[in-house]
Every structure is written in C-alpha cells, then in structure tokens.
Structure 1
Amino acid sequence: MPDQSLAGAATSSPPGADPAAVGRWLASELGDPAWQECSLSLIGAGRSNLTYRVTSAAGAVVLRRPPVGSVAATAHDMGRERTVVDALRDTAVPVPRILAHSEGGAPVDAPCYVMELVDGVVPLEEPPAGWADTPADRARAGGALVDVLVALHAVDIDAAGLSGFGRPEGFMSRQVRRWNSQWESARESGLTVGAGTESSLTALSTRLAAAVPATQRNTIVHGDYRIDNCVFDATDPGRILAVLDWELSTLGDPLADLGLMLVYWCQADEHPVWRAAQHIPSPTRLPGFPLRSDIASAYAAGSGLDLAPLPWYAGFGAFKLAVVLAGILARVRAGSVPADMAEGLDGAVDPLVVLGHHVLDEGIS
C-alpha cells in the first residue's frame, strides 16, 4: 500500500534528475496525478548507470538513466538494458517489470526508463541482521546465484525475441580488443600508473588475445553478474527476486559471466593474490558461502559446459575489471565525473592485473 504520509512532501534533487520534472512525466505516463509530488533518492554508488528510488503518494518505483558526464555512452545504453529486461519477463530469470521509458528529453534530458520497485535484500559487505545469518542460509544464497546464472544462460534467444541483440560470433576476441581499447583511452585521458602496472596490463592483454578459447555455446550474457546485482527475498535467502544492472548485456560466451563473477567472489581462506585484488566489498567471505571451486562445480553441473578453460575467463574478468576501474579513475582525474566516484579505488588496478596473470598460471583456487 502506498505511504500516504508522502503526499505533498518536499522534493529532493539528487544529481541527474529533477523531482518536479520526473513527477510530471510519471503522472502522465502512469496515469496517476499523485506522482506529481515525489521525492528522489540515489540508490548505489553511481559508478555506472544512475538509479533512483522515486517515492510518492502513488507508491514507489525505480528510475534508471545514464551517468552524468559519461564519456562512454555506448556502455550505458538505456534501450539495450530495457530491451533485455523486458524480453526476460516471462522466463525463469527474475527481472523487474518495465513501466515506462523515454528516448530522451523529459524527464531527465537523457534516455531513461522506470521499472517496478522490487523489495528485498541486496547483499552488501554486511548483510542486514536476520538475513542469511546461518552458514546453511548463506550456502542457499550462493546456490541461488548459480541457479539463476544457469537459467539465464539456458534462455532460448530466439523465443525471447533477442536474436538480433548482439553478434556472438567472435565475441571473446572482440571483448579483449574492446577492453584493450578502453585501457588505451584511460591512459590518454590522464590516468597515471606505474611503469610496472602499465607493462603488466599490456602483457596480460597480449596473453589473453593469444589464447582465446573456443566458445561452447552462445547465450545471453549479463556482463556484470555478481551477488550485489541481485535482489534476494528478505525471508528466504535461497530465492532471488530480481537481477539488476543489465547495461553490459549482450549475446556471447556465457563463461565470461562466470569468470567475472569469480573475480568478484571473496572467500574466508584467501590466497594473498586474490585478497589484494578485492577492492569491492562482498559478503561472500562469511562462513557458509560456497568457495569459488564450489561455484564452478555447481555451474558446470547445471549448464553442462566444460570448465577446463575457466582460468582464461577469470583472467579476462580480472583484466576487464582492472580497465573498468582505470576508466573511472581517469574520468575523476580529468574532472569529468565527481571525485567521490573513485572512493576506495586508489591502488585497485595493479592487484587485479597481478590476479589476471595468477589465474592464467595457477587456476582459480
């Protein structure tokens, strides 16, 4: 039931969206004048597409728009994100329902869309008290994460209407070239790293390009699948209610999703190389969450894919994440985005490069 106490409440103005403009637009799009008086609050760190909770007497929804001052607009394509979320609504992959969209102009002078608010738990470094408090519940949460990834990679692309959503042939080779190009752009934008990091990252890119595995299956690829991009049931840690943040989704090699997910994954008993590369906090270090090897085994059992080349995909995941963080640091230092976007990221690039070489040499353990 909508919170009636919010009617006529004072609006707030987070970056990138004016509550008055959003309220007028929602009132028209959703056919309810109660949306005209609304408040907006930012959800998340805002390092990728900006996400707002919009609250009014009519209820609450979520608004997504590209980052303000983005220098890589193709990585923040609202149309692509909306298309894949809408296409997955009748599949086994849980996604929010799209309610309205704009190609530009009102309400935020940029492409955007509005989706239903899915209430639940987004697991961050310290999950809320009462959620997944036991090792058994954490194991179920980890299992749910694998099950949904397997379900995503099993979606019939043609039946979902996504046959033209990407170019799966040669996907991983293009990905290596793309992120190498992004690395060059970050350097040209003013990012300063040590000579050792620069040469090591270039060497990692060369190693990856020289040994691209043969793709076993083409599927929908999320592009940034991890535990804090999912909304879990607040009363059932073994149930995911929605997968979020589809801005990098396309068609391609599903093991790219698994490899990057393992780079994000933290575990209690950690190799020093892995520990040094983990600059993004995760709750998966808590007792009960599966180990990376357990995640891989469960995914292999569910998908039927051969995981012998998985170290390459994890190495690529470390390379990609290093370049993503380098790009954020470059944009901050160039003054094109707020300085707080780089909070906690200083020194994050080199350990990821070291990790990329490590997994290519030693595997994912």
Structure 2
Amino acid sequence: MPEQRTGAVDPPGLDLTRFETFFESVRPGAVTAPLRAEVIAGGKSNLTYEVTDGEHRWIVRRPPLGHVLATAHDMGREYRVMTALLPTDVPVPATYALCEDPDVLGAPFYVMERVEGTPYRLASQLEPLGAERTATISARMVDTLAALHRVDPGEVGLDGFGRPEGFLARQVRRWKKQLDSSRSRELRGADELFASLSERLPEESAPGIVHGDYRLDNLLVDDGDRVAAVIDWEMATLGDPLTDVALLLVYQRMASLDSGSAVADASRAPGFLHDDAMLERYAAGSDRDLSDIGFYLGLAHFKLAVILEGIHYRYTHGQTVGAGFDTVGAMVEPLIAAGNASMKEHR
C-alpha cells in the first residue's frame, strides 16, 4: 500500500496515491518512500511530470487536461516507439510502464527514465559554450536523425505503426484541409504553394520511422555535448523520413524569417551548422536521395504555416489563453513565401 503522504499537494492531473498503486502493481518495490512530483512541461501539448521518492526519479507523461484528441495525444504510440528504439543506436529514455486505463489518472499515461540533459532552444544558451561546441552539438543532432532513419521498422517491431504508402500525398491533402478549416484572411502565396506541392509529388524515399517534430529542443544534450535522448515522440509514424530533414531545416530558418516572431533561435548561435552543411552531413550518414529536397522544404514550410494560422485563428476568436499569441499570425505569410522560394530554388 502507498505510504501516507502528509502535507503534499499533488500537481494537476497526477493523483500520486493512485499513481503509486498502479506503479507498484507493475514495478513492485520500485517506490521506497512517499512520492512527490512537479510539472516540468505543460500546456497544449502533453503534460510532463518529474516524480521522485527522494532516491529515485521518473518521468510521467499524460495528455493535457480538458479537451483531448486521442490521435494527437496517443500515450501508447509514444511508449511503443521509444520501447522499440531502446536496443538501437537512437538514444531514447528507458520505458517502465504504460497505463491505458483512464480511471487511474483520468487519461492514459506512461512512465519513463529521467535522462539528464539540456533541451537547447535559444542562441543565448549556446553562445556561452563557444562556436566549436555548438558546431559539435548541431552535427550530432543531424547524426542522430540519420541514425533514426537507418532503423528498419520491421526489425524493431514497428510494422503497422503507420501507413507509409502515399504518405506525401496524404500530407499535402491533410494540411490543405487544415488550412481551409481555419482560414479567416487572404494569405498571399498559399494557393500557389499548395498547387506546386500537388503537382510536384516526388517518388517517395524508402519508408522509415518519422519523428514528426525533430528539432534541437526535442533532444536532451548531456555535459559532453552528446545527444542523451530524443524525446517528444507524439507525432511519430512510419512514412518518408525526408520530411523530418526538411522540417528540421525550416525550424532553423524560422529564426531568420522577416517576421520578428521567432520563438526558438538556437540556429543563430556562432558555430551552428548551416543548411548546406547539415544536408551534406545527413547525406554522409544516409543513403537517401536528397535531389527533391525542394519539395520537402516546401511541404515543411506549408505545414508550419498552417499550424500557425490555426493558432492565429483561435487567437482572433478568443480561444487562446496566455501571452505571445498576438505575434503568431505575422509568421504565416513569411513561411509561405519561403516555401514557394524553396520549391523554385531546388527545382
């Protein structure tokens, strides 16, 4: 039975007594003292908690409170892909338990290892390290992505994890449909970009594991500048891995787009690898053909523009809470313009 906890306040969404009862049922003896916990990441994405008994520490992930789309916050999906990747060269946290019974905490959740590391997001975090270390970190970020894309999904038990056939065409249709559902203003170049993507669908790269949101702040980097863990797998699927490569580059380009609204600018730090160097390094660690990278860059720009337009739409309709939403809309047209430019530049 869980020990009596006195004076402790459970964080929202995590009843520690109920959690401990479950965790002890699947990991007997793991907990050695009363538990306490704190939220270390929250918001519209999944909630992340650090739980400790004073001797051991674990990470618990669950969907956000309130309205939840199961397809967007699939705990079993994150748990499955990380568990599958444990024996590979891709660094992921060890996984300890998955609870799919919503009666325990009000939603499914899983428990994983707490990995020490920094999710670098800003140039101001990297600049004190110096250009050489920053170059090493950004290079290892690319190497880790190439390692992920070398994994054979079937060999690690991920057959059926996604539908890789027709992946790119579905992505183009999906993001156009999403844009149409949240468009409330004229967006210069949006129809042109969609038409170009529809007309220029390339032969797809060999199917692989797609992270879906691969960027520096979804990596934990240790004190030796090594990638200790890749985290936040909620968008993972099987598909064309070059979509990960392009999205990584576009995330970095957002720091220099003429919008004044970049929220992550790590790529501005001296020493951080530029686009061409990243593509060369990825190519050296992969056998994938990058000759159609212009299409993938166009698609990545389109995807992010649509996501931000959706946020802008909710902001203008009073459906967002918090600061910073007022500048999101300014990024949409620069992203679309950059997408069209990428399509033309790499034709």
TM-score by length of 2: 0.88
- What does residue 216 of structure 2 align with? 227
Q: Does structure 1 residue 143 correspond to structure 2 residue 139? A: yes
Instruction: Give, in whole Å, the separation in 2 of the partners of 1:293 and 1:180.
Output: 29
- What does residue 181 of structure 2 align with? 185
Q: Does structure 1 residue 124 correspond to structure 2 residue 113? A: no
Contact residue 267 and residue 286 of structure 1 kept, 8 A: no
1:299-318 to structure 2, matched below 5 A, reads 299-318=282-301
Identity among equivalent pairs (%)? 39
Work out which of the residue numbers 171, 176, 183 in structure 1 matches 2:172: 176
Letter in 2 for 1:221: V
Q: Which runs of 5+ in 2 are unaligned?
A: none
- What does residue 67 of structure 1 align with? 64
Letter in 1 for 2:249: L
Contact residue 267 and residue 291 of structure 1 kept, 8 A: no
Where 1:61 maps in the other structure, the secondary structure is strand
Give how far 1:62 is off.
Answer: 1.2
Post-superposition Cα deviations, 1:21-41, rounded to whole Å, max 9, x if no partner, equal 434444444334546531221
Residues 108, 127 of structure 1: alpha-carbon distance in 2 compared, 3 angstrom cutoff: farther
Where 1:39 maps in the other structure, the secondary structure is strand
- What does residue 218 of structure 1 align with? 207
Contact residue 328 and residue 341 of structure 1 kept, 8 A: no
Work out which of the residue numbers 334, 337, 340 in structure 2 matches 1:351: 334
Moved more, 113-122 or 349-358: 349-358
Instruction: Give, in whole Å, the separation in 2 of the partners of 1:35 and 1:24.
Output: 13
Q: Does structure 1 residue 284 correspond to structure 2 residue 282? A: no
Query: RMSD of aligned C-alpha atoms?
Result: 2.7
Instruction: Give, in whole Å, the separation in 1 of the partners of 2:331 and 2:322.
Output: 16
Moved more, 67-76 or 310-319: 67-76
Contact residue 211 and residue 235 of structure 2 kept, 8 A: yes
Letter in 2 for 1:294: A
1:265-284 to structure 2, matched below 5 A, reads 265-266=252-253, 274-276=257-259, 279-284=262-267
Residues 358, 161 of structure 1: alpha-carbon distance in 2 compared, 3 angstrom cutoff: same
- What does residue 54 of structure 2 align with? 57
TM-score by length of 1: 0.84
Give how far 1:42 is off.
Answer: 3.1
Where 1:64 maps in the other structure, the secondary structure is strand
Where 2:285 maps in the other structure, the secondary structure is helix
- What does residue 240 of structure 2 align with? 253
Contact residue 35 and residue 51 of structure 2 kept, 8 A: no
Instruction: Give, in whole Å, the separation in 2 of the partners of 1:216 and 1:278.
Output: 33
- What does residue 40 of structure 1 align with? 38
Letter in 2 for 1:251: L
Work out which of the residue numbers 220, 229, 250 in structure 2 matches 1:263: 250
Instruction: Give, in whole Å, the separation in 1 of the partners of 2:320 and 2:254.
Output: 32
Contact residue 39 and residue 47 of structure 2 kept, 8 A: no
Post-superposition Cα deviations, 1:271-313, rounded to whole Å, max 9, x if no partner, equal xxx3438623131211111111110111112112222211111
Give how far 1:102 is off.
Answer: 1.2
1:12-27 to structure 2, matched below 5 A, reads 12-14=10-12, 16-27=13-24
Letter in 2 for 1:148: T
Post-superposition Cα deviations, 1:5-64, rounded to whole Å, max 9, x if no partner, equal xx86633524x4344543444444433454653122132x63422222223324221111
Where 1:289 maps in the other structure, the secondary structure is coil
